């Protein structure tokens, strides 16, 4: 009976431990690769040759997920500006993919959890690239928001008996302005990425032209020197003596 009691206690302890909440969903991933708090992020990373960089962003069901990316510069031999981007759902399904120098991936989330974003530079085996990222989540016409709006409308109808309609108009206008400002911020951020790409492209072209101009100048100078050297060889004469006289 004592053995049975101990086994029951042990099973209860193990069961209590197993049903506990999992605090670390990705124990093999560092905190720098997991994004929990803010709704949007924008930063630049450098992906090495044939490299792969992955990030995770937490999103609830019904949110709108978006990802904007742009290749700013590429270095190395036989460079290719194409970047392979894949977004996976928490269940592992591929919900979006792109293979271009810049692009956008947007969708409504159907699962709650961490969405994985992977950026692969397999097109360049001997060159690295810098890419600018802008991603995040926001609500847009989800079911919870619709229910909340309906409840707010009912409440507003009751409050209209006691309050002035001006306050309601100001609240609706401020919400619309806030939504417009958010989308304007996204477009501004994408334009900033485009300008950064143009700057790095101009800088790369300037270095390319300067290098080849110096090489061509060196080749022209060496060609002139070699021509002069061979012409002098054609007119080279030996000194004449009594025993050695020039012959026809």
Residue 179 reports pLDDT greater than 70: yes
* Within-domain flag for 15: no
- The answer to whether position 101 is within a domain reads yes
For residue 24, what is the DSSP state? -
Q: What is the CATH number of the domain that holds 157?
A: 2.60.120.680
Answer whether 108's CB lies under 8 Å from 30's CB: no
Q: Cα-flanking dihedrals φ and ψ of residue 189, to 5°?
A: -65, -40
Q: Is the pLDDT of residue 84 over 90?
A: yes
- Which of these ranges, 18-22, 95-99, 140-144, 181-185, has the smallest mean pLDDT? 18-22
Total count of domains within the chain: 1
pLDDT exceeds 90 at position 193: no
Per the model's pLDDT, the better-predicted residue between 35 and 4 turns out to be 35
What does each C-alpha distance from 156 to 76, 108, 144, 164 come to in angstroms? Answer: 62, 29, 18, 11
Asked if residue 245 is part of any domain, the answer here is: no
pLDDT, tens only, 92-112: 999 999 999 999 999 999 998
Distance CA 185, CA 231 (A): 69
Number of H helices, E strands in the chain: 3, 9
Residue 246 lies in a domain: no
Decide if 9 is inside a domain.
no
Q: What's the mean pLDDT in 109-116? A: 92
93 in any annotated domain: yes
The confidence band for 10, taking pLDDT boundaries of 50, 70 and 90, is very low
User: What range does the domain containing 159 cover?
Assistant: 27-202
The tens digit of pLDDT for each residue in 17-46 reads: 333 333 344 455 554 455 554 578 889 999
């Amino acid at each position: 009976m004592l053995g049975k009691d101990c086994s029951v206690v042990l099973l209860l302890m193990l069961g209590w431990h197993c049903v506990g909440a999992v605090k670390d969903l990705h124990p093999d991933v560092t905190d720098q690769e997991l994004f929990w708090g803010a709704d949007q992020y924008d930063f630049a990373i450098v992906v090495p040759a044939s490299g792969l960089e992955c990030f995770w962003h937490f999103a609830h069901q019904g949110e709108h997920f978006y990802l904007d990316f742009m290749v700013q510069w590429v270095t190395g031999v036989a460079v290719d500006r194409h970047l392979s981007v894949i977004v996976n759902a928490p269940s592992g399904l591929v919900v979006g993919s792109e293979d271009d120098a810049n692009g956008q991936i947007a969708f409504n989330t159907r699962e709650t959890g961490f969405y994985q974003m992977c950026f692969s530079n397999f097109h360049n085996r001997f060159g690295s690239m810098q890419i600018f990222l802008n991603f995040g989540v926001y609500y847009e016409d989800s079911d919870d928001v619709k229910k909340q709006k309906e409840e707010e409308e009912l409440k507003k109808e009751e409050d209209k008996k006691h309050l002035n309609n001006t306050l309601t108009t100001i609240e609706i206008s401020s919400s619309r302005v806030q939504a417009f400002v958010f989308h304007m911020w996204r477009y501004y951020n994408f334009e900033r990425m485009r300008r950064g790409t143009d700057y790095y492209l101009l800088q790369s072209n300037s270095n390319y032209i300067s290098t080849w101009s110096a090489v061509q100048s060196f080749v022209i100078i060496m060609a002139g020197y070699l021509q002069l050297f061979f012409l002098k060889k054609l007119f080279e004469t030996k000194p004449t003596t009594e025993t050695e006289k020039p012959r026809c």
